[in-house]
Copies of this chain bind each other. A is one copy, B any other.
Amino acid sequence: MFQFRNDYSMGAHPRVLEALAATNLEGNIGYGADGYCEKCATLIRELCQAPNAKVECLIGGTQTNFTAIAAFLRPWEGVICAQSGHVNGHEGGAVEATGHKLFQVPAGPDGKVTAAAMEPVLEMCRDPHVAKPGLVYISDATETGGVYTLAELETLSQYCKANGMLLFLDGARLGAALTAEDNDVSLPDLARLCDAFYIGGTKNGALMGEALVIVNPALQPEFFRIKKQRGAVLAKGWLLGVQFQALLEDGLYWELAKQANAVAGQLQKGLMDKGYAMANVTTTNQIFPIVPESLLETLDKVCTYEVWCKNPDGTVTVRFVASFASTEADAEGLLVALPNAR
């Protein structure tokens, strides 16, 4: 079975696990007040060229999204996101459970939010009987594998500033985005353009962990208290610092992401060569081939994957995700196992 179900089916990269084992019985202060979290924060500030950013490690993506949003917004403010945004469709109503409205805007197959799509929401919300949009949530890479260009982020950032909204970037798959072949965005760009964003560990080699970078100084005070309140403080907090240090200090994080992108790209190209259409051609570690329903039986035998959606014409869009543990041989093997599209 070739494993393409998702990028959180494996544990940690061996070097990450070794770092955990090496520090296992050292004895560390709890709750993230340890030296590893401190070093991790320093390292991330350097990588981002953001000496005044606050770096906080949380455990998972949903948790990071709702904790940050709850911390940053006032109660009458809502969040603009793509209809396909993770906070809208896959987090159990977590943002709303903190009291904030989501304004969903349509996004293209690439899953990106645009100023044009937000304009009607802003127009509607001039009426004070509606909640006020206070934050724009975007993901990079997006839920459908898209990658924002620097120009797009510059535009979004300006639009947010001009309209009194914060820009928050979900980086659960930030490694995949920043190592994509068509990417022209850097960590310092993100630190300059976003109010806050995070560097996802769970989907790129860590057991768990997301490193939230709060750039906007107005959003930094007392963040620990709300992190505690929302269950996002790991008692053995150094586990997160140790993992991010292992991933980031030698660039392992970027190698792993690049590898996952490469395998996904190889698989995508191979499938297109075999005549399959893609719902959305991507450059990251998720790909979305459109297959006849009859192919699912074959797929079930040779690989793990997910049915993404059923299409009106009877075809099915499936999702293959490559992870840090995926290899070229996996892609090659799966391609061999699959028939041509017709």
**Which partner residue on chain B sits nearest A76 by CB separation?**
B225
- How many chain A residues sit at the interface, stated as a range, is 35 or more
Which stretch, A8-16, A47-55, A189-197, touches the partner chain B? Answer: A8-16
Write the A86-113 contact mask toward B (1 if CB under 8 angstroms, else 0): 0001111110111111101000000000
| Chain B nearest Cβ from A75, distance in angstroms | 5
Q: Tell me, yes or no, whether A295 is within 8 Å of chain B by CB.
A: no
Copies of the protein in its oligomer = 4
Evaluate contact between A21 and B25: CB separation under 8 angstroms: no
In contact, A70 and B66 (Cβ under 8 angstroms): no
Q: Check if A342 is an interface residue, CB within 8 A of chain B.
A: no
A104, B224: Cα distance in complex, Å: 23
Contacts known (A93-B131, A99-B96, A229-B93); A23 close to B11, Cβ less than 8 A: yes
**Are B101 and A230 in contact (CB-based, < 8 A)?**
no
A20 to B243, CA, bound (A): 15
A274 at the interface (CB under 8 A from B): no
Contact among B27, B59, B78 for A9, CB-based, below 8 A: B27
Residues from chain B with Cβ under 8 Å of A222 in the complex: 74, 76, 128, 132
A17 at the interface (CB under 8 A from B): yes
The 4 A-B pairs at the shortest CB distance, nearest first, are namely A63-B231, A93-B131, A92-B229, A11-B24
